[in-house]
Structure 1
Amino acid sequence: MKDISRNDACWCGSGKKYKHCHYNTDMQLKKYEQDGYRIPDRELIKPSDAIKGIEESAVITTGILDELNEMLVAGITTSAIDKFVYDYTTTRGGKPATLGFNGYQYSCCTSINDVICHGIPDQTVLKDGDIINVDISTEYKGYFSDASRMYAIGEVDKKAKDIMDITHDCLMIGIESVIPYEATNVIGEAIEHYANSKGYSVVRDFGGHGIGYAFHEKPFINHFATPIKGMIMVPGMVFTIEPMINEGSNRTKILKDGWTAKTIDGGLSAQWEHTILVTEEGARILT
């Protein structure tokens, strides 16, 4: 962090003097850095106008997921879901953040049953008993948000319902573990402990990520326990928590399309995701 005078304007753009704004926070972070923790770059700590922009993007993301509650029934194709997402987003002045991202040509991801994530919308027809994750990412006026939900198609069996519910519990447990000036690795510790206690495994090949000015920013959020000290969470940071939970092995395989990730053993997988803001009190869900 570049040193500035206590009487200079704060680097965050608030207009306040540094000593009345982020000075105490920066002094605290320097101590963490000396102890070997990763410290967020200043651009990862979002000012109020950026947070407002992310919230406006999140209104679109959340609106899509709400509408899908009624739309997702047996007989619909995943390509029809994709078209709906594109139309809903663009008519509100936004853009699906996945569209064109690293060559991806779709407006959402649709991951069914044993697909862990990044399922490509196509002519697949949803049928009774399926479970599906729909992952929505929105760019609106230069700000990004990201969230996903699980949906049950018709009547699903107990094991499908259980993994959906347990995975949602994992998401909320991860969010509840967000405490300012703790390291991000507490999130994964809490999620994996709970998932394992219920007999499930946590996918390790994917994780959450910072978001706001870009689709993917630092930090990377592991959803499993790791001895590596994570980045210190500071009020104003925005990132996703999005655990992917498997009923069997946590190993994955990527299909020839280069995107679709499936369970190695054909077991069910589920995922829930929110974009969250770190506050002085903990985490605030934006999506």
Structure 2
Amino acid sequence: MSTYLVGDIHGCYDELRALLKQVEFTPKQDTLWLTGDLVARGPRSLEVLRYIRSLGSSVRMVLGNHDLHLLAVFAGISSNTLKDRLRALLQAEEANQLIDWLRCQPLLQVDKEKKLVMTHAGITPQWDLETAKACAYELESVLASDRYPIFLDAMYGDMPNHWTPELKGLSRLRFIATALTRMRFCFPNGQLDMHLKEAPNFAVPPLRPWFAIPSKLPNGYTQIFGHWASLEGKGTPQSIIGLDTGCCWGGVLTLLHWEGQRYYTQASNCHQMKDIVPMKYSF
């Protein structure tokens, strides 16, 4: 029985299946952890959602910013653009069922036995683990309810960028979504900077990667995240592991076998994406 952790898939279905074949993933025995951003950019988002949904309880995943964006597009709140490559998914016969399944997925995974914590972008240095769990649950509850379009309509935007327990309503939910699915850089006090999208060597002090600021998480836990493809899985502390290695941009899809502490990769088939500079996200 193995635990496999895989970085951002972004519609790269063929690469995902080939990567899982490498490790002989067996759904009835193994568990697959996914860092979010299942969809968009790559060519086969529909097939990715179909497959992941079919795995049922064998999967432990979190939502990413592109997954949230898909929900907003399907709800008619945002527009589908050519670069998102979501048309086949949006027009699929089972689109309603897939979207309803997706919006009921978590934003945070915690395994006390394995001492693992996973989110899409990371956990802001302003939060301890209990605060992160409570905040994730707040947003998950809204997304799984009939009120979810109200949040999606207010989701886009970079403010507020500083946590305080006094935040309320849609502003509070927007900060939670930003911290869990979009964060990269912070100021020393933990305040988020949502302008810089590049690799850490582009940062000008006092900005630092969120993982370079002391964490309030309990000792002994390992944090798993995706989202930041330009890191190429490098440059993080030993207890913080980034698994997004830019498959949809012509990089590789990366898997970590937790028990064996061994990495596996699958080269990208997204040849048409290799010469495209990653777009700066609007949210």
TM-score for both structures, normalised by structure 1: 0.26
Higher share of residues assigned strand:
1
| More RCO (CA 8 Å, sep 6+) | 2
TM-score for both structures, normalised by structure 2: 0.26
| Larger of the two Rg values belongs to structure | 1
